Amino acid sequence: MSVRIAAAKRLNLSVLLAALLGLCSAHVFAAGNAEAGQAKSLVCASCHGQDGASVIDASYPQLAGQNEKYLARQLKMYQSGERDVALMTAQLIGKSEQDLDDLAAYYASLPAKSSEATGSDAEIALAQQIYKGGIASKGVAACSSCHGPDGAGNAQAGFPRISGQSVQYTAAQLIAYREGERKSDEVYGGMMRGVSRGLSDREIAALSDYISGLN
Binding footprint of ligand HEC on the chain (CB under 6 A): 43-44, 46-48, 59-61, 63, 66, 71, 74-75, 85, 87-88, 91, 103, 130, 140-141, 143, 145-147, 159-160, 162, 170, 173-174, 182, 184, 188-189, 191-192, 195, 207
CB of 171 to ligand HEC, least distance (A): 8
Contact (Cβ atoms closer than 8 angstroms) between residue 32 and residue 95: no
Burial of 16 (0-12, 13-18, 19+ CB in 10 A): exposed
Distance (Å, rounded) from C-alpha 144 to C-alpha 131? Answer: 6
* Euclidean distance between CA atoms 71 and 181, whole angstroms: 19
- Least distance CB 4 / ligand HEC (angstroms): 52
Give the span between the Cα atoms of 139 and 83, in whole angstroms.
Answer: 25
Taking the complex as a whole, the smallest distance from the CB of residue 8 to ligand HEC amounts, in Å, to 46
Nearer to ligand HEC, 120 or 200 (CB): 200
- Of 9 and 138, nearer to ligand HEC (C-beta) is 138
Q: How far apart are CA 204 and CA 196, in angstroms?
A: 9
**Residue 153 Cβ, how far from ligand HEC at the closest point, in Å?**
8
Cβ proximity to ligand HEC: between 13 and 56 the closer is: 56
Q: How far is the CB of 18 from ligand HEC (least distance, A)?
A: 33
Residue closer to ligand HEC, measured from CB, 5 or 187: 187
Nearer to ligand HEC, 16 or 87 (CB): 87
- Do the Cβ atoms of 114 and 214 come closer than 8 Å? yes
Residue 42, number of CB atoms within 10 A of its CB: 9
Distance CA 208, CA 175 (A): 11
